[in-house]
Amino acid sequence: MYLTGEIDKVIAEIEEEAIAQVVGIVTNNAKNMRSASGQVETRRPNVIGGGCSAHVLNLLMQDIGRLPAVKAVPQELWHAIRKGPPHPSRGVQDTTARRAGRGFEGQKSHITGANTLVFCSRLPAQCAE
């Protein structure tokens, strides 16, 4: 599968250049991405794959928004809710991408063209540093 190969390439590049072990990948929840994530887990037992919880919440809110009781809420109220104060979690992916591959707490992260965020940690031998 093409996506599996692309994710594998990114993992190999990280492990070679960063001298780090990839421990997890996060993808969107599309069927092809879940399949690719599962295949990567099969090929690389040390890698844990998972779906993006923000994507799940977005899909859930879309479904909830289709309910008749929710549709009855005045549009002005929805507009006020959507335009509410900014939340710290908004724009995490954009911020991560702009920081040229630096993830949370100094962990290296890469965003691939396949909507996949790859996290890696230091090798056990480096943890003593």
Q: Is the pLDDT of residue 38 over 50?
A: yes
pLDDT (tens digit per residue) in 46-83: 999 888 888 888 888 888 888 887 777 666 666 666 66
Asked, for residue 22, whether it belongs to a domain, the answer is: yes
Q: Which long-range contacts (CB under 8 A, 24 or more apart) does 105-108 make?
A: 108/14, 108/18, 108/20
pLDDT score recorded for residue 74: 67
pLDDT (tens digit per residue) in 87-108: 544 443 433 334 444 444 444 4
Asked, for residue 34, whether it belongs to a domain, the answer is: yes
Asked, for residue 60, whether it belongs to a domain, the answer is: no
Q: Is the pLDDT of residue 15 over 80?
A: yes
Asked, for residue 100, whether it belongs to a domain, the answer is: yes
The whole-model pTM stands at: 0.49
Asked, for residue 52, whether it belongs to a domain, the answer is: no
pLDDT score recorded for residue 80: 62
pLDDT score recorded for residue 55: 81
Asked, for residue 75, whether it belongs to a domain, the answer is: no
**Number of domains the chain is built from:** 1
Asked, for residue 21, whether it belongs to a domain, the answer is: yes
68, with CB counted inside 10 A (0-12, 13-18, 19+), is: exposed
Look up the domain containing 14 and give its range.
Answer: 2-41+88-126
Asked, for residue 59, whether it belongs to a domain, the answer is: no
pLDDT (tens digit per residue) in 112-122: 444 444 444 44
Comparison of pLDDT for 84 and 19, the residue scoring more:
19
pLDDT score recorded for residue 97: 38
